[in-house]
A and B are shown apart, each in its own frame.
Chain A
Amino acid sequence: DAGITQSPRHKVTETGTPVTLRCHQTENHRYMYWYRQDPGHGLRLIHYSYGVKDTDKGEVSDGYSVSRSKTEDFLLTLESATSSQTSVYFCAISMPDGTEAFFGQGTRLTVV
């Protein structure tokens, strides 16, 4: 497995509370991604980062923010969680030279 750790792996939170998911890599890869996966939608890109403090929006970025202050960490924050954000969240890393992306094991988030 590529050196990707997502934390927490499971979380239940209440509507309206802030939530931060962490993705940590030991591979020194430049690119990092956050995806969400829901039934019937496959994986959808939320945000991605192409370097420290360099981030951009994906296709479903509303309600999410990200930060990357170090190469190895990419944080996904839900400022005020909603039930529609109940999902499985995957982090991925890649190099910009055309090689593959490596995925973490996912974080299952339930907003009640």
Chain B
Amino acid sequence: DAKTTQPPSMDCAEGRAANLPCNHSTISGNEYVYWYRQIHSQGPQYIIHGLKNNETNEMASLIITEDRKSSTLILPHATLRDTAVYYCIVRVLAGNQFYFGTGTSLTVIP
């Protein structure tokens, strides 16, 4: 049970911001939101995670709503190399499992 809902696909123009939404309406107070991406058939790559505050790193920004029921991953200036499947994950603290859903396939268009 992945506990997250994402659109199956999105397009974004190169150089523009890519905003990827995720719904996690049943998230618990001690669960984090993680984002990963998978390029072609490589292993998934960590992007960012957060609990309730917005987070930013060199790759992306994570915006979590105040009620924590949804979040948005922002790639500020999408490049062709950002074409990938993006996974939003709610991390269950007990056992430290990571459950993936089917993700959003992002295509960056020249």
Q: Do A and B come from one complex?
A: yes
| B-binding residues in A (CB < 8 A) | 31, 33, 35, 40-45, 48, 50, 56, 58-59, 88, 90, 92, 94, 96, 98, 100-106
Given the contacts A88-B41, A101-B46, A102-B46, A42 and B87 also touching, CB distance less than 8 Å:
yes
Smallest CB separation, B23 vs chain A (Å): 16
**CA A18 to CA B1, docked complex, whole Å:** 29
In the complex where A92-B98, A106-B43 touch, is A98 in contact with B32 (Cβ < 8 A)?
A: yes
Chain A residues closer than 8 Å to B102, beta-carbon distance:
40-42
The range of chain B's interface size is: 20 to 34
Contact mask for chain B residues 88-110; partner A; CB cutoff 8 A; 1 contact, 0 none = 00010001111111110000000
Instruction: Give every chain A residue within 8 A of B42 (Cβ-Cβ).
Output: 105-106
Contact B97 A90 (CB under 8 A): no
* Bound CA span A35–B2, Å: 13
Q: How far is the CA of A59 from the CA of B98 in the complex (A)?
A: 11
* CA of A45 to CA of B56, assembled, Å: 28
Give the one of B1, B41, B91, B96 with max A CB within 10 A.
Answer: B96
- The answer to whether A105 and B43 touch (CB under 8 A), given A42-B87, A100-B34, is yes
Q: By the criterion CB–CB under 8 Å, are A31 and B96 in contact?
A: yes
| A94 and B96 contacting across the interface, CB-CB below 8 Å | yes
Tell whether B49 is near chain A: CB-to-CB under 8 Å: yes
The list of the 8 closest CB pairs from A to B, nearest first, reads A103-B43, A100-B46, A43-B100, A42-B102, A42-B100, A103-B44, A96-B96, A31-B96
Question: Is B45 part of the binding interface, using a Cβ–Cβ cutoff of 8 Å?
Answer: yes
Q: Chain B residues with Cβ under 8 A from A41's Cβ?
A: 102
A105 CB to closest chain B CB (Å) equals 5
CB neighbors of A among B24-82 (8 A): 32, 34, 41-46, 49
Q: Which residues of B contact A88 (CB under 8 A)?
A: 41
Please judge, given known A-B contacts A40-B102, A42-B103, whether A48 and B44 are in contact too, CB under 8 Å: no
